[in-house]
Amino acid sequence: MQLMSVLNLDLTKEIQRLKKEKNAIVLAHNYQISPVQDVADFVGDSLKLSRLAGETDASYIIFCGVHFMAETASIISPDKKVLIPDLEAGCSLASSINPNELLKWKNENPDAVVVSYVNTSAEVKALSDYCCTSSNAVKVVQSIPESNTILFLPDMFLGAYVAEVTKRKNIKIWPGECHVHAGITDKDINRMLNKYVNAEFMVHPECSCTSSTLYHISNGDINGESKILSTEGMMNEARVSKNNQFLVATEVGILSRMRQENPSKEFIPVKEDAICKYMKKITIEKVYNSLVNDVYEVKVPEDIARKAIIPIERMLAIS
């Protein structure tokens, strides 16, 4: 354990040195492991990190997240070199639809407007009219004339939630899901709410891992009051709330930051094994390797990026 601590300390110092030397920043998603979050310049959700990627003056962006996030950073900041420390850091939800499947679906519905969740590949975004996050999906759909049929993809739970809230009958939903949120059920939540009766329940709306939870809330399948908050909203709520105990329904990586910023409060995961195996592929050793060897670059082809930026910019404007 001591040897590992020394190794991590040395790597941390080297990463900080290399960032200055190469004019690089490290962006880490909330679901990254703690050592990776600790060396990051910014920690947040994919939308926040994408915005930061567009605002930075850094020459290199080391994106500690999953592949579609690095793609989005590349699309927004084509003049930057975007690196992801592990090419296998994919996304099961993004993989649930490919460009050929979307083209076929569009051909079957030629007059429909395509709304793609941000958890999609660059090629799918390039075929879309709008992108969205869980927090602004309702706003995006409401901005589209009610007469237009909407093809919503790829998260079936988020799509069902949006359809329930907007009461629109002309939303067609792709049957995709992510391996994490599929494992968080209303039964899990109700069991924990019954066990921790004084805990404040928070669910994060900007990650696919909780979209099924949002759907169950809208259907009344979950007992008690629920607070649907963005990442920063979650963190702010944890700081200002008079409660000292919280039930958190999302990927467990965010608990590290919550506990670090609020040491006197208790944060309990609704499901301890709500772990994104792809997010956990990135380690501090891989971050160091990425900086030293300029690996692995994520560069979206110009023709795809030119089309994909349109729905992304529409998403940013609405959010």
Element (H, E) at 245: strand 245-249
From CA 27, how far away is CA 243, in angstroms rounded? 31
Structural tokens at position 259: 């506990």
Which residue, chain included where needed, has tokens 């083209």?
103
| 55 annotated as ligand-binding | no
| 319 annotated as ligand-binding | no
| 181 annotated as ligand-binding | no
Structural tokens at position 171: 């939303």
| 46 annotated as ligand-binding | yes
| 276 annotated as ligand-binding | yes
**Taking a C-beta distance cutoff of 8 angstroms, is the pair 61, 53 a contact?**
yes
**Taking a C-beta distance cutoff of 8 angstroms, is the pair 119, 208 a contact?**
yes
From CA 286, how far away is CA 265, in angstroms rounded? 32
Phi/psi class of residue 294: alpha, beta or left (left: φ > 0; alpha: ψ in -120 to 50)? left
Cβ count near 107 (within 10 Å): 8
| 205 annotated as ligand-binding | yes
Structural tokens at position 70: 């690095």
Element (H, E) at 42: strand 42-44
| 29 annotated as ligand-binding | yes
| 178 annotated as ligand-binding | yes
Cα separation values, 253 from 57, 80, 82, 173, 313, Å = 28, 28, 23, 29, 28
From CA 292, how far away is CA 88, in angstroms rounded? 19
Q: What dihedral angle (degrees, nearest 10) is formed by the CA atoms of 106, 111, 115, 121? A: 30
Count of alpha carbons within 13 Å of 98, Cβ hemisphere only?
1
| 117 annotated as ligand-binding | yes
Q: Return binding residues for [4Fe-4S] cluster.
A: 91, 178, 276
Q: Return binding residues.
A: 29, 46, 91, 117-119, 134, 178, 204-206, 231, 276
Q: Return binding residues for iminosuccinate.
A: 29, 46, 117-119, 134, 204-206, 231
